[in-house]
């Protein structure tokens, strides 16, 4: 992967790392106001849902491993997709996926409550949208898994990863992970790409995809 990243991908990487460092200095203050909190009444006086959280949650992370995984994926998939889409459409695509992931998470929390009032944070919604885009745009590119180290085409990797996220989300096997936010980012990314390709009933203003 090249290190000369295009501007939006580079800015997202810098912003996420900067906010994470700020989190280390301020403790939970940023999470209180900028993480994505569930809809409805809050059991706490100082936290609750606010509209800006639909975007700001994506710049917060729950630990070093969390941000490291997301930034690795952003670096791997963001550059190729930004070069293909162009910087402005790429930024639009990324944040539409972020917001779509947030809405999916809010819906699941509202209609499938687990009994807890906890925030969602992390860039994973946008990252999963980028993963979906990479699988659609470069379906035969090889992706090497870390565990186990098995190469596979991008289209197969995306399908298997999406199926795993759905299984984990439905069964609740991996608690504390917003699986439906990941799926929401992928789903809205798919819809937007199909819209740009002119494959939806609504006619796009500009078709960016091949």
- 123, 94 contact by CB (below 8 A): no
Pairing mode, strands 151-153 and 142-144? antiparallel
Kindly state the tokens that stand for 3. Answer: 């290190």
Q: How far apart are CA 94 and CA 85, in angstroms?
A: 11
191 sits in the region (left: phi over 0; alpha: psi -120 to 50; else beta) called alpha
Query: Residue 57 carries which DSSP code?
Result: G
Residue (of 161, 60, 53) closest to 99 by Cα position: 53
Please give the positions annotated as active site: 124, 182
With residue 142 as reference, give the H or E element that holds it.
strand 142-144
| 152 bridge partner residues | 143
Q: By three-state DSSP, how is residue 175 classified? A: coil
Q: How far apart are CA 137 and CA 59, in angstroms?
A: 26
């Amino acid at each position: 992967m090249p290190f000369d990243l295009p501007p939006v991908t580079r800015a997202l990487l810098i912003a996420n790392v900067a906010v994470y460092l700020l989190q280390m200095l301020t403790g939970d203050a940023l999470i209180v106001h900028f993480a994505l909190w569930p809809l409805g009444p809050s059991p706490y006086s100082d936290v609750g849902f606010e509209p800006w959280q639909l975007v700001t949650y994506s710049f917060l992370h729950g630990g070093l491993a969390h941000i490291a995984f997301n930034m690795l994926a952003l670096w791997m998939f963001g550059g190729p997709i930004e070069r293909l889409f162009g910087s402005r459409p790429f930024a639009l695509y990324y944040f539409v996926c972020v917001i779509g992931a947030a809405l999916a998470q809010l819906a699941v929390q509202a209609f499938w409550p687990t009994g807890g009032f906890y925030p969602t944070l992390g860039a994973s919604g946008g990252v999963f949208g980028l993963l979906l885009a990479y699988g659609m745009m470069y379906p035969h590119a090889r992706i090497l898994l870390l565990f186990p180290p098995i190469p596979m085409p991008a289209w197969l990797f995306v399908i298997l990863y999406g199926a795993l996220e759905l299984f984990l989300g439905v069964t609740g096997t991996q608690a504390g992970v917003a699986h439906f936010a990941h799926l929401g980012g992928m789903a809205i990314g798919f819809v937007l790409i199909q819209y740009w390709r002119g494959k939806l009933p609504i006619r796009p203003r500009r078709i960016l995809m091949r």
